[in-house]
Amino acid sequence: MPGMIVSVGRIAAAGALMAAAAGCAAASVSPPPAPTHRPASEAAVPAGRLPGLYLGLMAGPWYGPVVRPRTLLLGADWSVGFLRWTQWSRWRADGRGLYGSCQGAGGPCDYFWATIAASHVRVHNGRRYFAVMKITGRHERVEWLVMNATMGSWQQSRGPA
């Protein structure tokens, strides 16, 4: 079975490299405009169901959504862990977590506490999810992330969609 373990490791490494490359390519794309009308699929979603957050490209495209996740694997070199949510409603979610940002696989890595505000509820395959995240970190630096509806992953943006 040693050959099997090596093959699985190579497949996982190749998948991580492809995900990182897709994330880099997606970061330069501006987010699509918000729809001005409600899609027909949104009418079929029960009003009482809380929206979730998709977990990020490292978990896989459109993986989730999860209500009150503990970790967001946003890309090959950045994530938010130890998440604690202070509010989670049908319109907004607020929390705090340990933001990790690395400069490549060899590091160095920087970790600091950040606040997260998720908003802009959308629907994908009949599931409600938050499509915009505002991450405020050290020195009040703000990162905006918008869910890329084509790729099913988060991408950096200049502001909310």
For residue 23, the model assigns a pLDDT of 44
- pLDDT tier at 48 (50, 70, 90 boundaries)? low
Would you state the pLDDT for residue 161?
Answer: 61
In this predicted structure, the answer to whether residue 24 has a pLDDT above a threshold of 80 is no
| H/E element, 23 | helix 2-27
Q: Is pLDDT at 88 greater than 90 in this prediction? A: yes
The pLDDT of residue 18: 43
Nearest one of 132, 161, 154 to 33, comparing CA atoms: 161
pLDDT at 2 over 70: no
Cα–Cα distance for residue pair 61/67, rounded to 1 Å:
17
Please state the rounded mean pLDDT for residues 60-70.
92
pLDDT value for 6: 39
Q: What is the DSSP string of 43-69?
A: HTS-TTSPPBB---TTT-TT---BSS-
CA–CA dist 103, 76 (Å, integer): 10
pLDDT at 104 over 50: yes
72-75 and 78-88 beta bridge pairing: antiparallel
Contacting residues for 149 by C-beta, under 8 A, at least 6 apart:
32, 122, 124, 131
142-154 confidence digits (pLDDT tens): 999 999 988 888 9
Q: What are phi and psi for residue 140, nearest 5 degrees? A: 60, 25
For the entire predicted model, the pTM comes to 0.68
- DSSP string over 115-142: EEEEEEEEEETTEEEEEEEEEE-GGG-E
Mean pLDDT for the chain?
A: 77
What is the chain's alpha carbon radius of gyration, rounded to the nearest angstrom? 17
pLDDT at 39 over 60: no
